[in-house]
Amino acid sequence: MRVLVVGAGGREHAIALNCRTSGHEVLMVPDVTGIDGRLSEVDLVIPGPEAALVAGIASTCAAAGVPCFGPTAELARLESSKAHARDVTTRLGIPGPRWSRFDAGQVDEALDWWRSLGSPVVVKQDGLAAGKGVVVPTDDTSTAEAITALAARGAFLLEERMSGPECSLLALCDGTTAIALPLAQDHKRIGEGDRGPNTGGMGAYAPAPIDIDVDHLVATFITPVLDDLRAAGTPYIGVLYAGLMITASGPRLVEYNCRFGDPEAQAVIPMLDVDLADAALAATEGALATHPIATGVPLRAASSCTVVAAAPGYPGTPAVGAAVLSTTFTSTTVAGSSIDDELALLFPAGIDAEGRVSGGRVLAVTGLGDDLGSARDRAYSALDGIAFEGMQVRRDIGWRAPGATMRSYAESGVDIDEGTRAVDGMRAAVERTLGSDVLRGVGSFGGVISLARLAGLDEPVLVASTDGVGTKVELAARLGRVRGVGADIVNHCIDDVLVQSARPLMFLDYIAASKLDAGLVAEVVSGMAEACEAAGCALLGGETAEMPGVYADGAFDVAGTLIGYAERSALLPTDDVAPGDVLIALASSGPHTNGYSLLRRLFQWFPMDAVPLGLDRPLGEALLEPHRSYLDVIAPLLDDADGPRIKALAHITGGGLPENLPRVLPDGVDAEVELGSWPVPPLFALVRDLLPGMNAHELHRTLNMGVGMVIVCAEADADAMRSAIGEDTWVIGRLVSGRAGHREVRLR
Which pLDDT tens digit goes with each residue over 520-574?
888 888 898 899 989 988 887 778 888 888 888 888 999 999 999 999 899 999 9
- Determine the pLDDT at residue 417: 75
On whether residue 92 sits in a domain, the answer given is no
Q: Decide which of 340 and 577 is more confident.
A: 577
- Determine the pLDDT at residue 562: 93
Arithmetic mean of pLDDT over the chain? 92
Q: Which of the listed residues 519, 553, 571 is the one where a domain comes to its end? A: 571
Give yes or no: residues 6 and 113 share one domain. Answer: no
Give yes or no: residues 595 and 722 share one domain. Answer: yes
- Determine the pLDDT at residue 337: 75
Q: Is 160 helix (H, G, I), strand (E, B) or coil?
A: strand
pLDDT tens digits, one per residue of 339-386: 666 899 999 999 999 999 999 999 999 999 999 999 999 999 999 999
Give yes or no: residues 393 and 403 share one domain. Answer: no
pLDDT for residue 195 is more than 60: yes
What is the number of domains present in the chain?
A: 5
Q: How confident is the model at residue 445 (pLDDT cuts 50, 70, 90)?
A: confident
Burial annotation 191-207 (CB, 10 A radius, 16+ → b, else e): bbbbeeebbbbbbbbbb
Contacts of 562 (CB under 8 A, 6+ apart): 446, 464, 465, 466, 490, 493, 494, 496, 497, 504, 505, 506, 507, 508, 537
Could you give the CA distance from residue 124 to residue 135 in angstroms, rounded to a whole number? 6
Contacts of 543 (CB under 8 A, 6+ apart): 508, 509, 510, 511
- Determine the pLDDT at residue 410: 80
Question: For residue 550, what is the DSSP state?
Answer: T
Give yes or no: residues 643 and 732 share one domain. Answer: yes
- Residue pair 650/663 in contact (Cβ under 8 Å)? The answer is yes
Give yes or no: residues 348 and 451 share one domain. Answer: no
On whether residue 27 sits in a domain, the answer given is yes
pLDDT for residue 444 is more than 80: no
Give φ, ψ of 540 to 5 degrees. -85, -20
On whether residue 544 sits in a domain, the answer given is yes
Q: Nearest to residue 45, comparing CAs of 235, 263, 277?
A: 277
- Determine the pLDDT at residue 199: 92
pLDDT for residue 452 is more than 90: no
Could you give the CA distance from residue 360 to residue 199 in angstroms, rounded to a whole number? 9
On whether residue 272 sits in a domain, the answer given is no
The domain that holds 411 is classified in CATH as 3.90.650.10
**Poorest-confidence range of 51-65, 160-174, 353-367, 501-515?**
501-515
Q: Nearest to residue 148, comparing CAs of 199, 198, 97, 104?
A: 104
Could you give the CA distance from residue 170 to residue 180 in angstroms, rounded to a whole number? 6
On whether residue 150 sits in a domain, the answer given is yes
Three-state DSSP string of 448-461:
EEECCCCCCCCCEE
- Residue pair 172/236 in contact (Cβ under 8 Å)? The answer is no
On whether residue 718 sits in a domain, the answer given is yes
pLDDT tens digits, one per residue of 646-660: 999 999 999 999 999
DSSP H stretches of helix in 285-371: none
- Determine the pLDDT at residue 586: 98
Give yes or no: residues 487 and 578 share one domain. Answer: no
Q: Which of the listed residues 136, 161, 186 is the one where a domain comes to its end? A: 161
Give yes or no: residues 445 and 578 share one domain. Answer: no
Give yes or no: residues 652 and 727 share one domain. Answer: yes
Give yes or no: residues 551 and 643 share one domain. Answer: no
The domain that holds 519 is classified in CATH as 3.30.1330.10
Contacts of 312 (CB under 8 A, 6+ apart): 318, 319, 389, 390, 391, 392
The burial of 117, by beta-carbon neighbours within 10 Å (0-12 exposed, 13-18 middle, 19 or more buried), is given as middle
Q: How confident is the model at residue 131 (pLDDT cuts 50, 70, 90)?
A: low
Q: Nearest to residue 667, comparing CAs of 609, 597, 592, 735?
A: 735
Q: C-alpha distances in angstroms, 471 versus 135, 440, 556, 660, 665?
A: 39, 28, 10, 20, 30
Give φ, ψ of 38 to 5 degrees. -95, -20
On whether residue 238 sits in a domain, the answer given is no
pLDDT tens digits, one per residue of 207-248: 999 989 999 999 999 999 999 999 999 999 999 999 999 999
Could you give the CA distance from residue 109 to residue 91 in angstroms, rounded to a whole number? 24
Give yes or no: residues 738 and 698 share one domain. Answer: yes
Give φ, ψ of 630 to 5 degrees. -100, 10
The domain that holds 48 is classified in CATH as 3.40.50.20
Could you give the CA distance from residue 314 to residue 528 in angstroms, rounded to a whole number? 47
Q: How confident is the model at residue 623 (pLDDT cuts 50, 70, 90)?
A: very high
- Determine the pLDDT at residue 348: 97
Helix (H) or strand (E) holding 392: strand 392-393
pLDDT tens digits, one per residue of 16-52: 999 999 999 999 999 999 898 899 999 999 999 999 9
On whether residue 742 sits in a domain, the answer given is yes
Specify the amino acid at residue 439: L
Share of the chain above pLDDT 90, in %: 81
Q: How confident is the model at residue 149 (pLDDT cuts 50, 70, 90)?
A: very high
The domain that holds 348 is classified in CATH as 3.90.600.10
- Residue pair 32/60 in contact (Cβ under 8 Å)? The answer is yes
Give yes or no: residues 582 and 693 share one domain. Answer: yes
- Residue pair 305/364 in contact (Cβ under 8 Å)? The answer is no
Q: C-alpha distances in angstroms, 87 versus 97, 230, 237, 255?
A: 12, 17, 21, 12
Contacts of 276 (CB under 8 A, 6+ apart): 15, 18, 19, 22, 46, 269
Give yes or no: residues 543 and 585 share one domain. Answer: no
- Determine the pLDDT at residue 296: 94
Q: Which of the listed residues 134, 161, 188 is the one where a domain comes to its end? A: 161
Pairing state between β 582-587 and 669-673: unpaired
643: domain range?
A: 399-418+573-748
Share of the chain above pLDDT 70, in %: 94
- Determine the pLDDT at residue 46: 98
Pairing state between β 538-546 and 503-513: parallel
Question: For residue 309, what is the DSSP state?
Answer: E
Indicate the length of the chain as a whole number.
Answer: 748
Q: How far is CA 655 from the centre of its chain?
A: 22
